[in-house]
Chains A and B, each alone.
Chain A
Amino acid sequence: MSRIKPAVSLYSLQDEYLNHRMNLADIMRYVKEKGAEGVEILPDQMLKGAPCISDETLEQWNGLLKETGLAPVIADVFLNTNLYKNRTLTRKECIALLAEEIKQAARLGIHLIRLVSMVPYWVIEPLLPYCEEYDVAIALEIHAGMAFDIPETKAFIEEMKRVDSKYVGLVIDTGIFCSRFPRVVREYETRNGTSKEVFDYIDTLFEKGSDLHREIRENGYQYPKELEEAIQTEHDRMFVPLCDGYENYKFEDLDEYMPYIKHFHFKLFEMTPEGPEYSMDYKGLLQYLHSKGYDGYVATEYEGNRFTLPGEKMKEKEQVAAQLSYIKVCLEEIEGQEGR
């Protein structure tokens, strides 16, 4: 029987880590205590020397997995095509970097890699022999603003379908399922000087089932008249492109991709006191995934940290715990009590 399992991307607790309030061990223990069954890690964020980690770091990682019983689900991998200032890396250099990431994942006991959005399609075929040798799959992230309509994503999906291997797939970030613009972003950016009119306009788009990304695309990549009217200042004009990363897809838009989906980022801007996330309908999505027989992890990815108002306390720990607890309640209702 398929089962949807909760995980946490350690990205969610990045401010705790950066400011040394929690180390890797504290974070792993915390997410376990709050109900995660698996972890997602950005090796570049919390493992020193990645992708060439020391044996000592590896031992610590293995020790923490053993102690907590957490499954090492997925490693989030980046491609530094702009490693140098004066040129872009060649294909050969890109493939060599990603091959190192595959080897590192295998050392960490991880069998799935999230390739950051915009990774070019042509890495797939040369990487397949490494994927097979090390038993590590590669999956492109479908992220709001860089989702199914973007040429780079389309090319990756086409190549993924062509090679048709269990080692190539997709990771979906639920930021593509925003039915409202996050109010924490609005509050934060209002303080930074963005005009009310801009947000009011964006809200009208979500209300009619659209979003800014779609609206601009459907207007031939020109700003619609209403948006131009909403823009009051140069600051507004600078800010508008940053509102691109919240899209309003329907769950059914995933139908054709379900066979390739290996993992989900349950993006989190704000768990409300009432229970649900402010912008995304997790329960509806979990219901959809259950009906499709999705057998895999859904990983908390808290991003409200970057929209914390000056002087306010970071709420990473509370928000992660609130999402895990909400997802658990949803899953109990959807899947029933057995086996949980």
Chain B
Amino acid sequence: MFDNNVFKENTCKNISENGKVVGYGMETNITYYRGIPLSMVEYIKVSADGTEVEPEDIRISVDQNDWFTLKEAETVTSYKWEYGEPLYIRVDQEGGLTAGTHKVKLTVATRTAYIPVPLEGMKEREVTIA
């Protein structure tokens, strides 16, 4: 239902630390119509060129300062993912994505107040890494 909110355009890029590419990241809007604490993220899935990323290699943040693994995020109630603000997602992967075109698929699911199943949204984008 919220597929259009997932994976903001032109946000997928490699991430460098101390001159070394340590992974890649992207941004997404929320698959819901209101903001929720990070603990209510049910799951995030990333796949690149058909290969699913291991969940422990994914970290998320609402401010790009404090990052949580998906496991850690399960108890994070004082950081809120606001409606209209992106969730920053990063995948730890030495070297990041190679230069050129890739198919990156992002799936986001949130738990909601009264709907028994999590609200999932998914979008695949063709991204170009410089």
A-to-B contact residues, CB < 8 Å? 11, 14, 17-18, 20, 42, 44-46, 48-50, 78-86, 116-118, 146, 306
Contacts and interface: CB of A to CB of B under 8 A. Distances in A.
Contacts of B34: 42, 44-45, 78
A83 B76 CA distance: 9
Contacts of A79: 113
Nearest to A303: B33
B82 A48 contact: yes
A117 B33 contact: no
A82 B80 CA distance: 15
B35 A85 contact: no
A80 B36 contact: yes
A196 B82 CA distance: 38
Q: Is the interface of A mostly helix, strand, loop or mixed?
A: loop
A162 B57 CA distance: 53
B83 A82 contact: no
A17 B37 CA distance: 19
Contacts of B111: 82, 85
Given A18-B5, A45-B33, A80-B40, 11 more contacts: A48-B35, A49-B80, A82-B111, A83-B40, A83-B77, A85-B39, A85-B42, A85-B74, A116-B114, A118-B114, A306-B1
A71 to B, nearest CB: 22
B55 interface: no
B39 A146 contact: no
B29 interface: yes
Interface of B: 1, 5, 29, 33-37, 39-40, 42, 74-75, 77, 80, 82-84, 111-114
Contacts of A49: 80
Given A18-B83, A45-B35, A78-B113, A86 B74 contact: yes
Contacts of A84: 39, 74-75
17 contacts: A11-B33, A17-B84, A18-B5, A18-B29, A20-B84, A42-B33, A44-B34, A44-B35, A45-B34, A80-B36, A82-B40, A82-B112, A83-B40, A85-B42, A116-B113, A116-B114, A146-B114
A219 B6 CA distance: 39
Given A44-B35, A44-B36, A46-B83, A117 B1 contact: no
Nearest to B43: A85
B66 to A, nearest CB: 16
Nearest to A24: B84
Given A18-B83, A45-B83, A85-B42, A80 B37 contact: yes
B18 to A, nearest CB: 33
Contacts of A50: 35
Contacts of B36: 44, 80
B82 A80 contact: no
Contacts of B40: 80, 82-83
Contacts of B74: 84-86
Nearest to A82: B111
A306 B33 CA distance: 10
Nearest to B74: A85
Nearest to B75: A84
Given A85-B39, A117-B114, A44 B83 contact: yes
A149 B39 CA distance: 32
Contacts of B84: 17-18, 20, 46
Contacts of A45: 33-35, 83
> 3 closest A-B pairs (Cβ-Cβ)?
A44-B34, A78-B113, A118-B114
Contacts of A116: 113-114
A49 B34 CA distance: 11
Nearest to B41: A85
A11 to B, nearest CB: 7
A117 B74 CA distance: 25
A340 to B, nearest CB: 33
